[in-house]
């Protein structure tokens, strides 16, 4: 009974497909659902149920539709228990705010992440990447690519941009782990959020005292100069926390998983080596193929409505599966399950879609392009230093990737 009309009757409902066959592909259950039940009811681990949306067209329609609210997005009720304990969204919590409030906070931050601004950051990103590659070369293999390259590069970049000290990396790396583990309890999540907020609040106070030429200082100055600015200290703290965590975890996992994917697809790696101008396409295709926001995004219907022919009631949760949408033939590309770095980039949804579409996507692209091309040109003999079957994939985290990636050259 996949379209049970009683939302509390979850006895016979399946859960979200989670069991991957191949580590680079979404769970096989999604392909079947796209064909047979593209909008279907699923049971949530904490009891209750919601809708799972698996087709590209429906996912985009859902994410662009203002009748669906983002307020619950931090709860991830389809993979962990946290809905009841979720507090009201704070000012500046972009991921959880709806229009028009959302846009008021997004607009001032967006200016720092445009194509043009990121273009200006590229030489500095290249320098950071080169320094990490020098350090790897000095140390000699084998090394853990996550600890020695992926995390340092993305953390250094976002630290410099925001004005956070890289010396504090252990603090915020630990907090990211606690926030993103699917086994974290609501209390653990709340505790980690509070610790992160007090860390950033102290920083906001310090920047107000002694401004620098970083993003936090710029936002503080703008807020202080404009009596109508929504950027209160609380909003700045919440925004800073979001940027710090979203800004390093996601891209670091794409670097590690993207590296492994290319090592395991030697024909694709050879094509990139032969023509480094394929870097842009490679990154776009890896983003699509791997879709590391592995459990998708959650929205809540604010009124009774229909989506893709299904009736959805006010208050019901709907999960937009980004990994499934990015493998849907409806995306309009040939053989969407195949990794092909030479194809014309697809209009994928790896960064989401609609008003919440990833604010840091240009930065993520630049970091990925620079890191992947520099890594493979510095170490032409790069290879795994452990059997592929033994690698620790992040099936236990909201953001997919690898806990470690041992490589040598
Ligand atoms: C939002 C993915 C890198 C900052 C999002 C969303 C996705 C996403 C799917 C939409 C969430 C939703 O609609 O509920 C990714 C991926 C990345 C990446 C796959 C790397 C490969 C980054 C970076 C930054 C960043 C580097 C920061 C510099 C944000 C922020 C939002 C966001 C602030 C919230 C936007 C809003 O709600 O208006 N990201 N992201 N992301 N991302 Fe990223």
Q: Which atom of ligand 1 is nearest to the CA of 357?
A: 10
Q: What is the pLDDT of residues 210-231, one digit of tens each?
A: 999 899 999 999 999 998 899 9
Give the whole-angstrom CA distance, residue 177 versus residue 160: 21
Tell me, what DSSP letter sits at residue 150? I
Choose the residue to mutate in 77, 121, 164, 246 for probing ligand 1, maximizing ligand atoms within 8 Å of C-beta: 246
The helix or strand, by DSSP H or E, that contains position 224, with its residue range, turns out to be helix 215-225
Q: Which atom of ligand 1 is nearest to the CA of 355?
A: 38
CA 367 to centroid of ligand 1, rounded, Å: 14
The reported pLDDT for the residue numbered 1 is 32
Q: Where are the beta strands (DSSP E) in 263-401?
A: 297-301, 305-307, 310-312, 317-320, 383-384
The reported pLDDT for the residue numbered 80 is 77
For ligand 1, residues with CB inside 6 Å are: 70, 73, 94-95, 106, 158, 242-243, 246-247, 250-251, 254, 292-293, 297, 350-352, 356, 358-360, 363-364
CA 77 to centroid of ligand 1, rounded, Å: 19
Ligand 1, atom 34, lies closest to the CA of: 95
The reported pLDDT for the residue numbered 119 is 93
The parts of the chain modelled with pLDDT lower than 50 are: 1-5
What is the ipTM score, two decimals? 0.99
The reported pLDDT for the residue numbered 77 is 83
For residues 77 and 46, the answer to whether their CB atoms sit within 8 Å is yes
CA-nearest of 331, 354, 337, 312 to 52 is 312
The reported pLDDT for the residue numbered 9 is 57
Ligand 1, atom 26, lies closest to the CA of: 247
Ligand 1, atom 25, lies closest to the CA of: 360
Measure the CA angle with vertex 194, ends 189 and 197; round to 5°: 125
Structure token digits, residue 164? 């956070």
Choose the residue to mutate in 180, 250, 353, 365 for probing ligand 1, maximizing ligand atoms within 8 Å of C-beta: 250
CA-nearest of 155, 152, 148 to 407 is 148
The reported pLDDT for the residue numbered 8 is 53
Give the whole-angstrom CA distance, residue 291 versus residue 349: 8
Ligand 1, atom 39, lies closest to the CA of: 358
State pTM to two decimals.
0.95
Give the whole-angstrom CA distance, residue 344 versus residue 32: 26
Enumerate the β-bridge partners of residue 181: 397
The reported pLDDT for the residue numbered 49 is 92
């Amino acid at each position: 009974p996949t379209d049970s009309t009683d939302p509390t009757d979850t006895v016979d409902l399946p859960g979200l497909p989670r069991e991957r066959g191949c580590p680079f592909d979404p769970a096989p259950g999604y392909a079947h659902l796209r064909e047979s039940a593209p909008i279907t009811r699923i049971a949530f681990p904490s009891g209750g149920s919601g809708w799972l949306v698996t087709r590209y067209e429906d996912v985009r329609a859902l994410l662009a539709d203002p009748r669906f609210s983002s307020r619950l997005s931090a709860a991830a009720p389809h993979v962990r228990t946290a809905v009841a304990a979720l507090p009201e969204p704070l000012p500046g919590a972009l991921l959880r705010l709806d229009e028009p409030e959302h846009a008021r906070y997004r607009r001032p931050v967006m200016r720092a992440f445009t194509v043009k601004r990121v273009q200006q950051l590229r030489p500095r990103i290249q320098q950071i990447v080169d320094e990490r590659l020098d350090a790897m070369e000095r140390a000699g293999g084998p090394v853990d690519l996550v600890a020695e390259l992926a995390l340092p590069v993305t953390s250094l970049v976002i630290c410099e941009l925001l004005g956070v000290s890289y010396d504090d990396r252990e603090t915020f790396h630990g907090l990211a782990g606690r926030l993103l583990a699917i086994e974290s309890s609501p209390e653990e999540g709340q505790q980690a959020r509070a610790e992160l907020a007090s860390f950033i609040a102290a920083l906001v106070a310090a920047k107000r005292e002694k401004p620098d030429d970083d993003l936090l200082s710029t936002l503080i100055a703008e807020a202080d100069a404009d009596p109508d600015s929504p950027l209160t200290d609380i909003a700045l703290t919440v925004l800073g926390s979001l940027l710090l965590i979203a800004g390093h975890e996601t891209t670091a996992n794409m670097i590690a998983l993207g590296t492994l994917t290319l090592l395991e697809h030697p024909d694709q790696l050879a094509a990139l080596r032969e023509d480094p101008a394929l870097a842009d396409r490679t990154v776009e295709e890896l983003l699509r193929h791997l879709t590391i926001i592995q459990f998708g995004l959650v929205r809540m219907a604010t009124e009774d409505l229909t989506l893709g022919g299904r009736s959805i009631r006010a208050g019901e949760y709907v999960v937009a599966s980004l990994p499934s949408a990015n493998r849907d033939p409806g995306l309009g590309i040939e053989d969407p399950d195949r990794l092909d770095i030479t194809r014309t980039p697809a209009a994928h949804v790896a960064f989401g879609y609609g008003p919440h579409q990833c604010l840091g996507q240009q930065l993520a692209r630049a970091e990925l392009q620079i890191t992947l091309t520099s890594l493979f040109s510095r170490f032409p003999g790069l290879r795994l230093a452990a059997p592929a079957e033994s690698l620790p994939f992040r099936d236990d985290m909201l953001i997919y990737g690898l806990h470690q990636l041992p490589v040598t050259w």
